[in-house]
């Protein structure tokens, strides 16, 4: 898949995975992988970007004697996800246009 | 490749990043590693899943320098960690619950610790030290000359006004010439005296630099960051 397109999709995927509850690195990859290929090295910059733009916040919790970083979606993040869903509608129309032309 | 080798390779590739960022990366992969091991994977399997440290480093560096024109990075000098200015901090109304400021804004103390002495450097340090001391002494000598010369001229020029004054009654033409000469000497004195503090700063800087240079040659130092919280 095109890299730029994938990057945007992955950000939205992470946000989507966080809407119901907080999550952490391993779990995010496990939850998203069935839908789109996501590797550890790909996830890192996405999480970093989401955090620095305020879409997610983090906190560290102890788990089995070690530290784990948990990610939570913010209201700002929820807005971003809503915006992306609006984009998806447009994307759907473009998709149909291309799909029909390509067959 | 072992976990240690993988991490060391990655660390080497991102060494130019600020220490806070490097730690963040290592924490991230360390956590993922532990989670996978906990679920039954072997070290080898996990490292294989992580892939090539080069690719991981590429992604990290690419993201970090996304606004490359804002970062004038010199490869030789270590850059101070700064919060990213290209990224907008969400306004108060936009911040969700549990908002925390970015990593870089946490309280931290930076300390430079001396970890050892380079014994083999002693001889070159002595030789270089001798040269540096000679040059620095010369600089100080020039400074003293400038200062003394300036003072002498200023004083001489000022004092010279007095007999020139009396000369007016005797020979106006000569008096005027003498006045002019005194002015000139005074002016030279003032200029030299004004230069003295500036030159003094150069001397101090050179001396300090010399001491620091010799010190750096002889000792091994390490920068350590301590975080609060």
Q: Predicted ipTM?
A: 0.91
What was the pLDDT predicted at B71? Answer: 43
Q: Which helix (H) or strand (E) holds B115?
A: strand B108-117
Residues of B in contact with A58 (CB under 8 A): 100
Q: What is the pLDDT of residues B187-197, one digit of tens each?
A: 888 888 888 88
Q: What is the pLDDT of residues B166-179, one digit of tens each?
A: 888 888 888 888 88
Residues of chain B where predicted confidence (pLDDT) is lower than 70: 67-113, 222-229
Residue among A44, A59, A63 with most chain B CBs within 10 A, to mutate: A44
What is residue B122's three-state secondary structure? helix
Does A6 lie at the interface with B, CB-CB under 8 angstroms? no
**Closest by CA position to A78, among listed A97, A47, A101, A50:** A50
User: What count of residues does chain B have?
Assistant: 229
Q: How many C-alpha atoms does B5 have within 13 Å on its Cβ side?
A: 9
Q: pTM score, two decimals? A: 0.51
Q: Measure A2 CA to nearest chain B CA, in Å.
A: 16
């Amino acid at each position: 898949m095109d890299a730029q397109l994938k990057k945007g999709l992955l950000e939205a995927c992470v946000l989507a995975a966080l809407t119901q509850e907080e999550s952490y690195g391993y779990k995010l990859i496990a939850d998203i992988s069935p839908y789109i290929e996501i590797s550890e090295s790909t996830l890192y910059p996405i999480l970093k970007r989401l955090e620095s733009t305020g879409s997610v916040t983090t906190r560290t919790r102890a788990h089995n004697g070690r530290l784990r970083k948990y990610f939570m979606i913010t209201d700002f993040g929820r807005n971003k996800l809503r915006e992306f869903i609006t984009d998806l509608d447009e994307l759907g129309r473009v998709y149909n246009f291309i799909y029909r032309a390509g067959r | 490749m072992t976990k240690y080798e993988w991490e060391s390779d990655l660390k080497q590739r991102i060494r130019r990043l600020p220490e806070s960022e490097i730690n963040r990366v290592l924490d991230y992969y360390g956590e993922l590693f532990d989670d996978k091991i906990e679920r039954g994977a072997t070290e080898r399997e996990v490292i294989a899943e992580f892939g090539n440290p080069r690719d991981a480093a590429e992604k990290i560096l690419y993201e970090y320098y996304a606004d490359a024109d804002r970062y004038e990075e010199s490869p030789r000098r270590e850059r101070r960690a700064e919060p990213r200015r290209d990224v907008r901090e969400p306004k108060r109304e936009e911040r969700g619950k549990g908002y925390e400021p970015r990593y870089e804004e946490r309280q931290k103390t930076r300390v430079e610790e001396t970890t050892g002495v380079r014994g083999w450097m002693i001889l070159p340090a002595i030789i270089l030290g001798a040269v540096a001391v000679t040059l620095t002494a010369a600089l100080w000598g020039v400074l003293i000359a400038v200062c003394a010369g300036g003072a002498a001229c200023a004083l001489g020029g000022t004092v010279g006004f007095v007999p020139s004054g009396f000369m007016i009654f005797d020979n106006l033409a000569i008096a005027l010439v003498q006045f002019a000469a005194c002015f000139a000497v005074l002016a030279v004195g003032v200029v030299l005296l004004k230069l003295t503090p500036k030159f003094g700063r150069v001397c101090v800087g050179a001396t300090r630099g010399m001491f620091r240079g010799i010190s750096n040659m002889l000792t091994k130092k390490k920068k350590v960051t301590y975080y609060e919280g």
